[in-house]
Amino acid sequence: MRIVHDRRQVAALCREWRRRDSQLLAFVPTMGNLHAGHLALVRHARERGDRVLVSVFVNPMQFDRPDDLERYPRTLDADARKLAEAGVDALFCPEPTEMYPEGCVPARVTVPQLSGILEGVSRPGHFDGVATVVAKLFNLVQPDVGVFGEKDYQQLKLIEAMVAALNFPVLIDAVPTVREADGLALSSRNGQLSESARRRAPELYRSLREAAAACVAEPDRWPAVFAECTAQARERLRESGFEPDYVEVRRCSDLGEPDAGDRELILLAAAWLGGTRLIDNLRL
């Protein structure tokens, strides 16, 4: 596996791959601290492309709090070993000065209809950072396929909307959430949980399952029943020691507020447990 730090070198490498027998390139952008969920993305990329490139870049632009950026785990050596064992062709791991050589960002990408709701309310500016860095990476790599996880569902829909709006010639593939045996969605932030918090953490997914079952049991009352079910989920989370940011039912397609005729719906939640913020989702 090649390890590349320079943006010009990674662009040249990807151009060479494309010239060589028109090889398809699958790309997996990450922030590192890789776990089984990331490796599921890599396996999917291996199935979709002749070449697989993974990036590891802790993007400062998408952090709304400096302390969160400082705490984010950085495990590049271990990540590189996992990716090499998974058969990745190249790892791109730039420094912030390589991705943002101007220092401050002179231009940014915004997807207004998805940036200011749900996660965007709790983390102002976060999705501008996500859209901007993914656009920069797509311009450098020019992949045929970009692979993202459904655990960060709002991020997934934002990337899909950006690609469509800006005519990026890349197909976005979504991979289902990978969970622990007790239901907790895998996340790089799970390692920040204390032992007692880790024992309580699966309650987030259990609360979503309970709310989903209550919603599905009364389809004739959609969408009025959603407010009741999500309120009960928030209360259950508080009783379990969480501080919920939101529990919402939205349309799968665009995360808009559901109407009576909508049937492709998803429950999304975010909650603090101790000093760690967890997110999850579940389709109805």
We report the CATH number of the domain holding residue 71 as 3.40.50.620
Domain boundary among 175, 206, 224: 175
Which residue, among 24, 265, 272, has the nearest Cα to 142 in the 3D structure? 24
Which residue, among 2, 105, 16, 89, has the nearest Cα to 46 in the 3D structure? 89
Would you say residue 33 lies in a domain? Answer: yes
Pair 49, 125 in one domain: yes
Each residue's pLDDT tens digit, 79-113: 999 999 999 999 999 999 999 988 767 789 999 99
> Binding-site residues for beta-alanine, please?
62
Pair 7, 34 in one domain: yes
Pair 91, 132 in one domain: yes
Percentage of the chain modeled with pLDDT above 90: 88
Each residue's pLDDT tens digit, 135-168: 999 999 999 999 999 999 999 999 999 999 999 9
Domain membership of residue 240 as a residue range: 188-283
Would you say residue 183 lies in a domain? Answer: no
Q: Which amino acid is at 46?
A: R
Instruction: Give the CATH number, domain containing residue 211.
Output: 3.30.1300.10
> Binding-site residues, please?
31-38, 62, 149-152, 155, 178, 186-189
Looking at the structure of the chain, the number of domains it has is: 2
Would you say residue 32 lies in a domain? Answer: yes
Token pair 């719906």 is at which residue?
A: 265
Would you say residue 57 lies in a domain? Answer: yes
Catalytic amino acids? 38
Pair 195, 165 in one domain: no
Pair 152, 220 in one domain: no
> Binding-site residues for (R)-pantoate, please?
62, 155
Phi, psi torsion values for 202, nearest 5 degrees:
-65, -10
Pair 121, 46 in one domain: yes
Domain boundary among 175, 204, 219: 175
Pair 117, 196 in one domain: no
Would you say residue 130 lies in a domain? Answer: yes
Each residue's pLDDT tens digit, 236-262: 999 999 999 999 999 999 999 998 888
- pLDDT at residue 106 in the model: 78
Pair 115, 9 in one domain: yes
Pair 251, 153 in one domain: no
User: Looking at the whole model, is its pTM more than 0.85?
Assistant: yes
**Residue 202 in contact with residue 281, Cβ under 8 Å?**
no
Confidence category of residue 65, pLDDT binned at 50, 70, 90 = confident
Domain boundary among 142, 175, 208: 175
Each residue's pLDDT tens digit, 9-51: 999 999 999 888 778 999 999 999 999 999 999 999 999 999 9
Helix (H) or strand (E) holding 71: helix 66-71
Pair 19, 72 in one domain: yes
Each residue's pLDDT tens digit, 181-206: 999 999 999 999 999 999 999 999 99
Pair 16, 86 in one domain: yes
Would you say residue 180 lies in a domain? Answer: no
Phi, psi torsion values for 37, nearest 5 degrees:
-65, -45
Pair 193, 159 in one domain: no
Would you say residue 247 lies in a domain? Answer: yes
Q: Which residues contact 241 (CB under 8 A, 6 or more apart)?
A: 197, 200, 273
